[in-house]
Amino acid sequence: MNGAKCAACITAVLFLFAFVVKGAKSIICYKCNSKYDSRCGDPFDPYTIGLVDCNITEVPSHLNGYYPVLCRKSVQRIHRSIRIVRDCGYVEDPAHDDMDCYSRLGSHDTDVTHCSCTSSMCNGSGRTQPYVTRLIVAVCIAGLFLLAV
């Protein structure tokens, strides 16, 4: 193996390790709104919806000083119309466990259900073990990296 291939392999392994090790700081979430893209609703079509690295997206102005720590799925019911929003989350609710959901009732026939989770791509419809998800993403990226070398 020549030096360039060896360096590429070491880089790929380190990248893989960063995704698999618990506590990796980067979280990747689905980001969409069913009002503008019906694939974002339920049933969810994760194969055609973009993923975002929450650490490199713009933080909403009212959350300056916070960092992305979770993925979120919100189901909004407004006057019998349902909208689903999947996005990065910045504030954990310590009273709720991973992938726990809670509802808030509004006035004038409105309510919202928030589901939050702390592993990458967990705001899709299916539940995947966090380490398996990270491993799948890391292996795909490492494979693409090795193909490019």
Query: What CATH number has the domain bearing residue 139?
Result: 2.10.60.10
Task: Give the pLDDT confidence score for residue 98 in this predicted structure.
Answer: 57
Task: Give the pLDDT confidence score for residue 41 in this predicted structure.
Answer: 93
* Interacting residues of 41 by C-beta distance below 8 A, sequence separation 6+: 34, 82, 84
End-to-end CA distance of the chain: 12
What's the angle, vertex CA 101, arms to CA 62 and CA 82, rounded to 5?
A: 75
Task: Give the pLDDT confidence score for residue 84 in this predicted structure.
Answer: 96
Task: Give the pLDDT confidence score for residue 99 in this predicted structure.
Answer: 56
Q: What is the amino acid identity at position 131? A: Y
Task: Give the pLDDT confidence score for residue 51 in this predicted structure.
Answer: 93
Count of structural domains within the chain: 1
Provide the token pair at 106: 């509004």
Provide the token pair at 145: 């990296």
Selection from 94, 92, 87, 57 nearest residue 73 by Cα? 87
Residue-by-residue pLDDT tens, the chain, 149 positions: 455 554 444 444 434 444 444 444 689 999 999 999 999 999 998 888 889 999 999 999 999 999 999 999 999 998 889 999 999 999 887 665 555 788 888 877 889 998 999 899 999 865 443 444 454 555 556 555 566 66
CA distances, 59 to each of 49, 51, 69 (Å)? 21, 16, 12
Structural domain containing residue 82: 3-148
